Amino acid sequence: MDFGVTVLPDPPFSRWLELIQLAEKHGFGYAWTYDSHVLWQESIPMLAVAARETSKIKLGHFVTNPATRDPTVLASSYATLHDLSDGRMVMGVGRGDSAVRYIGRQPMKVAEFEAALAMVRDFMNGREVNWNDKDLQLKWVREELPEIPVHVAGYGPKALAVAGRVGEGVIIQLADPEIITWIMDTARRAAEEAGRDPAALKCIVGAPAHISDDLADARDQVRWFPAMVSNHVMDLIERYGTDGSAVPKALTDYVQARKFYDYNDHSRVGAAHGEFVTDEICDRFCALGTVEQVKAKMRELEAVGVDQFNIYLMTHGQEQTLHAFGDEIIPELAHAAA
């Protein structure tokens, strides 16, 4: 597997950059950040600085969206960052969660999202597009740079079908092998129906990893994460129900005890809205425990075809996590990025 890390664009900026540079030093192939411009700092200029202050690590959002960012602006931003980083940008994109909900809007409709994403994918890579009845092209895109790949975040069948038809990969925000298998099977069926190679669709898993001998504390460090995922699951339940016919019960059952969600504590250790999350769900959705236990979890993920494990670095002991992965896990499990 490849390995990545996601760092919140939270002040001070110097700390954000320090962690990304440390990840690069420890052999991580990817550094990602959130795109929620009111909860945290605006991430595009931060990525521009990171592009100049790193040399190898690939950079992108986990995830951005074409709702708060006009699709032409999003495409031009990524094309510019690709130039600044000498070809190291990777786009993670979804319909919008905290970025849109926090400002009183809703995630994009799936059809609108797919149309925007198909345009962004071509436009940022220098190809001519027709948008708003206008023929447009970023004529300054450097042809010698590699394509910017697009990895699409989703849980439901319709969003996953977009990933299969348009994306190079699927972003999955949980580390449960059973759910990952269902998600990838769903996306790959759509890819095959669209005449694409389903085997070429990458699987990118993002979840917290906390290495500790104190499993009880490790679980408390990550209860915010399944609570965050529950925002998407609640949308799925509203659309598809809970009988397991469209979405597996392994994904929907755990939210039955959810009471509320406060975006002011989005992705924060100790968030009160995570109190309903059980120890079992923490273990299923995250990578917790000793180095050997985390290695075992990584091997489980590798066995179901995960191409990249991306650490949500929002627990305590961030340096220790990066050190442990860099010294003991990545050398054993990673391969050179293609």
Measured CA to CA, the distance from residue 143 to residue 146 in angstroms comes to: 8
Closest to 31 in 3D by CA, of 41, 46, 42, 11: 46
3-class secondary structure, 170: strand
Q: Would you say 121 and 166 are in contact if contact means Cβ atoms under 8 Å apart?
A: yes
Cis peptide before 12, with omega less than 30 degrees from 0? Answer: yes
Measured CA to CA, the distance from residue 313 to residue 4 in angstroms comes to: 10
pLDDT, tens digit, 9 for 90 and up, residues 139-158? 999 999 999 999 999 999 99
pLDDT band for position 338 (50/70/90)?
very low
3-class secondary structure, 58: strand
| Mean pLDDT of the 195-211 span | 98
| Mean pLDDT of the 202-231 span | 97
Q: Would you say 99 and 68 are in contact if contact means Cβ atoms under 8 Å apart?
A: yes
Q: Would you say 156 and 245 are in contact if contact means Cβ atoms under 8 Å apart?
A: no
Q: What is this structure's pTM?
A: 0.96
Measured CA to CA, the distance from residue 275 to residue 13 in angstroms comes to: 30
| Mean pLDDT of the 287-309 span | 98
Where are the strands (E) in the chain, listed by range? 2-6, 30-33, 58-61, 91-93, 129-131, 134-136, 150-153, 169-172, 202-207, 209-211, 287-289, 308-312
pLDDT for 301 beyond 90? yes
Measured CA to CA, the distance from residue 170 to residue 187 in angstroms comes to: 8
pLDDT of the residue at 172: 98
Give the other-Cβ count within 10 Å of 108's Cβ.
21
pLDDT for 335 beyond 70? no
pLDDT for 124 beyond 80? yes
**Which residue's structure tokens are 């980083």?**
85
**Residues 6 or more apart from 224 whose CB is under 8 A from it?**
265, 267, 268, 269, 270, 271, 273, 274, 314
Alpha helices of 167-205 — where are they, by DSSP H?
177-193
Cα end-to-end distance, the chain, whole Å: 11
pLDDT, tens digit, 9 for 90 and up, residues 171-194? 999 999 999 999 999 999 999 999
pLDDT, tens digit, 9 for 90 and up, residues 32-61? 999 999 999 999 999 999 999 999 999 999
Q: Would you say 37 and 99 are in contact if contact means Cβ atoms under 8 Å apart?
A: yes
Eight-state DSSP code of residue 246: S
**Which residue's structure tokens are 């977009």?**
162
